[in-house]
Amino acid sequence: MKLHRILLGTALVILAPLAAAEPLPGTQPLTGTNDFSMEMVAGIDRFLDRELAASVGRRAAKWHRDFSSPEAYAKSIEPNRERFKKIIGVVDERETCKLQSRSTPPLEFNVVGAGTGYRIFAVRWSVLSGVDAEGLLLEPDEHLPPVANIVALPDCDWTPEMFVGLKEGVPIEAQFARRLAGSGCRVLVPLLMDRRDTYAGKPKIRMTNQPHREFIYRAASEMGRHIIGYEVQKVLAAVDCFVSEHIPSEPPAHSAYEPPPVGVIGYGEGGLIALYAAALDDRINAAVVSGYFQPREKLWREPIYRNVFGLLDEFGDAEIASFIALSKPIGNVVPPMPRALIIEASRHPDINGPPAPSQGRTGAAPGVISTPPLSDIEKEVARAQNLLGKIGLRPMTYSESEFARTNNLPEKPQPRFTLIKSGDGTGWPGCEAALTAFLKELHESAKLAPTEPPPPQGPSFRESDFQHQFDQLVEHTQRVLREGEARRAELWKKPNLDLSNWGFPLAKDSAAAVKKYQEDTRAYRDYLWDEVIGRFPPASLPVNPRTRLVYDEPKYRGYEVMLDVWPDVYAYGILLVPKDLKPGERRPVVVCQHGLEGRPQDCADPKVESRYYHSFANKLAERGFITYSPQNPYIGKDAFRVLQRKLNPLGKTLFAVIGRQHERTLDWLAAQPFVDGERIAFYGLSYGGKSAMRLPAMLEKYCLSICSGDYNEWIAKNASTTFKGSYMFTGEYEIFEWDLGNTFNYAEMSWLICPRPFMVERGHFDGVGVDEMVAYEYAKTKRRYDLLGIGDRCEFEYFNGPHEIHAVGTFDFLHKHLKWPKP
């Protein structure tokens, strides 16, 4: 939405005659002619840079490593592993895995190529309900067991056929899957989602230039899933196949047979998946991560499909690596076994952004990948090694020692993290030293095969196979989207909040029911703030209010206001104070919130007539209300969207900042001698309506809330691939909120505003949504108020109009519930 703008230079000319006027009593003069709105965004950006840098030192508080023994260490990191699984979306139960032919012929006849000592099969294996994986299997010729089972993951822009030399596109020296197969290993190469935009969108709605990975990321993140998690699941399903021997060749028929060890190796996006898979699954004995490992505090610069909500609050690459140190013990017989991680410093994929916009394809988030300095990689590897430096190596018991001796295992498990450079650290992945070390970790006597020419060009990668994989993942996001309402109902299953327990007729004591309801919803308010929005500490600076008179109208005066929050972060807005205030009188306040790319002047400048806001703050002031129009930092296009990118890895959203800004503002307003602190209302349009759903749900000092032009079936609005108004097809890449679909739709947010008055304002021609979707969601809001016996506190006004402040029923609502007489 393009909101009405006023030129800053023009505004300064208008304000200049009043610049020297007296500030509001009890405040210091506000000085300067800067653009306070954009300076706010820049200040928050500096604040977040410091928060990201500080996150490294804060992570230790989230870990409770017990170094007294390997067993104690393995147990002590399990809670962290479970949290890591959740934030990357590994939450769905996998199906029983079995490798099968990717096409009609039985697997043994579906040979697509061969090299010295191995054949190449096109395969498919089951992963989740409705989701399978596809790729190539490089199977050793001999009937003896392979020396190891390996999942080899190329960068996502390399197809399996390119990676094994059946098709051009990957340098021979980077085709390490073939060398491992020639060394006697069984190697499985999965197909990953790439960075093209071929299928990103819906032809009958809109196609975008989002990489396929981003398109899946958007819908998945809203539902607590992730493209990373889906592909980790594909690797773990392959490991399921390996350890259960659901593979083409039959294991030898003798009782002493043990499945071969399992390894993963990956490059670029495949390196990310290899690291995460090995961190989660201790059946993986060794891992190689090439072209990925580094400090992650600048994750916000990388493509958005790498964005993981809450990652840096607890995990950098070093912390993730620490999961790979030891396997978990099995009962009292099998002790924790050492695992190996090899970091190969190699060139990273060179990604300068998403596909270029073309033929109407737009909307992708910016993001780059480049090769970091070798010193950065060395620093992160050293951090990982230091995290494990205190693991105690107590003497083994007799049974443990016997198990180790019988199985040719070391009697004192020692984790092994190794850094190997490919050339000067910028060579191709899969260098001689890295592959040799990897093989040695998996099988002491294995020898690395020499590099050989690629096999004859075989059947090329079929585009339909890729589209099939893409469609499966998109459909899985839509299936969990459809299930989201049931998941939210489970979350709200507390007896006094579960509507199915509310009988008819209602209890006569409505006041007691409301009080009990408020008590029971407090935990949900904390959950929304802590787990969904993210909670920063309260303001750390003195409020230091600065004001200046900017408007002197017949019925009111207007003041610019600035309040400190944290270093570099302030709250800013415009306060309109009626001139007919009587000594000692305290009046209600309406906080009038602008939308996307808006400014306080859009709502409160008497000389601005906005097609969206219609001077509603001024009109309310003329009716005798005090109004305050705050600046929210969703202004500056990518400048503010970068804030969201920096906030997300810290487990926070933009509203984590906005919430504390409004908290400071509410406290200051309530302290003014002419303000009734019990009657401060919120009224916002568009992104301001988004604020109207979240801020009053968090901050109980708002006595009522009016959501204009935003109330919606919000989860579908964000993540549906069939609704033409969905954010899946637009440039608002910051809009997606992690796991919101399983926790809070707009009805659930309104339940946290309840029992305070709540109203929705919507024009029939507002393209933000459609009446039917909005009405469906609102019915759940209204029912909650009605069942509590306070239905008169909840209203909805439709009007014949577009995306705008209508200011009819809402003004009546404000007069009624703020107890202020109509003019």
Give mean pLDDT in consecutive 10-residue pieces for the chain, a chain of 823 residues. Answer: 36 40 92 94 98 97 90 92 98 92 66 92 95 95 86 98 95 96 96 97 94 98 98 98 70 57 97 98 96 98 98 98 82 69 97 93 97 97 86 47 53 72 97 96 92 82 89 98 96 75 60 90 96 98 98 98 98 98 97 98 95 97 98 97 98 98 98 98 98 98 98 97 96 97 98 98 96 97 94 97 98 98 95
Q: Strand 206-207 vs strand 201-202: parallel, antiparallel, or unpaired?
A: antiparallel
User: What phi and psi values does residue 726 have, to the nearest 5 degrees?
Assistant: -70, 145
Burial classification of residue 486, based on how many CB atoms lie within 10 Å of its CB (0-12 exposed, 13-18 middle, 19 or more buried): exposed
36, 583, 679, 820 from 579: Cα distances, Å = 26, 11, 19, 16
Among 780, 736, 781, CA closest to 758: 781
Q: Strand 118-128 vs strand 111-115: parallel, antiparallel, or unpaired?
A: antiparallel
DSSP string across 73-127? HHHHTHHHHHHHHHHTT--SPPPPP-EEESSSS-GGG-EEEEETTEEEEEEEEEE
- The helix (run of H) or strand (run of E) holding residue 667 is helix 654-671
56, 78, 331, 401 from 69: Cα distances, Å = 25, 15, 15, 15
Q: Strand 118-128 vs strand 131-140: parallel, antiparallel, or unpaired?
A: antiparallel
Burial classification of residue 231, based on how many CB atoms lie within 10 Å of its CB (0-12 exposed, 13-18 middle, 19 or more buried): buried
Q: What span, in angstroms and rounded, lies between the C-alpha atoms of 434 and 344?
A: 7
Contact assessment for residue 273 and residue 266, using Cβ atoms and an 8 Å cutoff? yes
Q: What span, in angstroms and rounded, lies between the C-alpha atoms of 155 and 100?
A: 24
pLDDT of residue 456: 85
pLDDT of residue 406: 58
Contact assessment for residue 363 and residue 208, using Cβ atoms and an 8 Å cutoff? yes
159 three-state secondary structure:
coil
Contact assessment for residue 133 and residue 237, using Cβ atoms and an 8 Å cutoff? yes
Q: What span, in angstroms and rounded, lies between the C-alpha atoms of 196 and 156?
A: 10
Contact assessment for residue 704 and residue 693, using Cβ atoms and an 8 Å cutoff? no
Q: What span, in angstroms and rounded, lies between the C-alpha atoms of 273 and 279?
A: 10
- The helix (run of H) or strand (run of E) holding residue 265 is strand 262-267
Contact assessment for residue 577 and residue 624, using Cβ atoms and an 8 Å cutoff? no
793 three-state secondary structure:
helix
Among 196, 178, 328, CA closest to 265: 178
DSSP string across 301-316? GS-GGG--TTHHHH--
The distance of Cα 177 from the centroid of its chain, to the nearest Å, equals: 32
Contact assessment for residue 660 and residue 539, using Cβ atoms and an 8 Å cutoff? yes
> Residues for the chain: how many in total?
823
Q: What span, in angstroms and rounded, lies between the C-alpha atoms of 605 and 602?
A: 6
| Tokens linked to 81 | 């592993």
748 three-state secondary structure:
helix
Q: What span, in angstroms and rounded, lies between the C-alpha atoms of 791 and 793?
A: 5
pLDDT of residue 808: 98
Contact assessment for residue 228 and residue 306, using Cβ atoms and an 8 Å cutoff? yes
The conformation of residue 540, written as its DSSP 8-state character, comes to: -
Q: What is the pTM assigned to this prediction?
A: 0.93
Q: What span, in angstroms and rounded, lies between the C-alpha atoms of 154 and 170?
A: 10
Contact assessment for residue 557 and residue 575, using Cβ atoms and an 8 Å cutoff? no
Q: What span, in angstroms and rounded, lies between the C-alpha atoms of 59 and 316?
A: 9
CA Rg value for the chain = 30
Contact assessment for residue 156 and residue 192, using Cβ atoms and an 8 Å cutoff? yes
Contact assessment for residue 742 and residue 484, using Cβ atoms and an 8 Å cutoff? yes
Q: What span, in angstroms and rounded, lies between the C-alpha atoms of 548 and 572?
A: 12
Q: Strand 704-708 vs strand 675-685: parallel, antiparallel, or unpaired?
A: parallel
Contact assessment for residue 335 and residue 398, using Cβ atoms and an 8 Å cutoff? no
Residue written as token pair 């009657």 = 679
